[in-house]
Amino acid sequence: MAQRIVRAKSKIRDARIPYQVPPVAELPERLDSVLRVVYLVFNEGYYASSGASVTRHDLCGEAIRLGRLLTALLPEPEAIGLLALMLLQDSRRAARSAPDGELILLEDQDRSLWNRDFIEEGSALVEQALTSRRFGPYTLQAAIAAVHAEAAEPGATDWRQIVGLYDVLLRVTPSPVIELNRAVAVAMRDAPAAGLDLIEAILARGDLADYRLAYAACADLHRRLGQVPQARAAYQRALDLTRQEPERRFLEKRLKELGGTVATEQ
């Protein structure tokens, strides 16, 4: 990354490219790239890929600040949708880990800790973006997050609506990760076996082969079905791939609950 920055600086210097704010007419065509970067920054903050913490609050906060700035300067539906998504996801921050830093899954979170101000603001922004009828993947993801936020308890979650939103999202932005998320929602709507079949089909075709969350989801569904050997194998694969300490401890705990020993990489 540092080398790319150096090369970019050299190109700017050698080509004498002036630093100037683009004309207003050029801003919309640049928006997608900017939204993508802000989205990636937030994702790394919301679910840190490595390190000692589940989240990085500094990155989440900076991404939301940039999202607010974007919607003020260029209130396009997808900019609004992305801000809504970040607010709704970040509303769960205080409930996503225990005081000792341990990971807490969505279904086990204390929902009284969720930030209601962020939920109200995010939900209103989702409605605004959807009303435009020019929305895209960020708004659809925000709509899914809003459905989760509406549920006072896990059992009240409208999984049918969530699966329907994932169906639309897959048509707009086909992606194995979105397929995985939809499969988990199908497992919750129908039965663990239905979701497990979908996840195993994704893995069988070679997609998400090194994606730890795919194996963690697969392991959890095997566990719910009482398929202990398969659950252990999938948890172990997820553990081998993770670089985040709270996630590692969570997976080790799941493995110990299933009996036997936890294998460590040499």
- What are the pLDDT digits (tens) for 39-70? 999 999 998 888 888 889 999 999 999 999 99
Residue 256 maps to a domain: no
Distances (CA, A) of 135 to 76, 80, 127, 234: 9, 9, 11, 37
Residue 260 confidence (pLDDT): 61
Question: Is residue 163 in some structural domain?
Answer: no
pTM for this predicted structure: 0.89
The stretches in the chain having pLDDT less than 50 are 266
- Asked if the structure places residue 96 within a domain, the reply is yes
Q: Residue 26's pLDDT is what? A: 81
Model confidence pLDDT, tens digit, residues 11-21: 989 998 888 77
Domain span holding position 53: 31-157
Q: How many domains does the chain have?
A: 1
The residue type found at 251 is L
Contacts of the segment 202-210: beta carbons below 8 A, 24+ positions apart = 202/176, 207/176, 207/179, 208/176, 208/177, 208/180, 210/241
Note the pLDDT of residue 29: 83
In one-letter notation, the amino acid at residue 92 is R
Residue 144 lies in a domain: yes
Q: Would you state the pLDDT for residue 46?
A: 93
Q: In this predicted structure, what is the pLDDT of residue 23?
A: 80
Residue written as token pair 């990085």:
56
Residue 248 belongs to a domain: no
Residue 152 lies in a domain: yes
**Structure confidence at residue 22 (pLDDT):** 78
> Is 80 part of a structural domain of the chain?
yes
- 77 domain-assigned: yes
Alpha helices in the chain (DSSP H): 2-14, 27-46, 57-73, 77-90, 116-132, 137-150, 159-172, 176-189, 192-204, 212-224, 228-241, 245-257
The reported pLDDT for the residue numbered 266 is 41
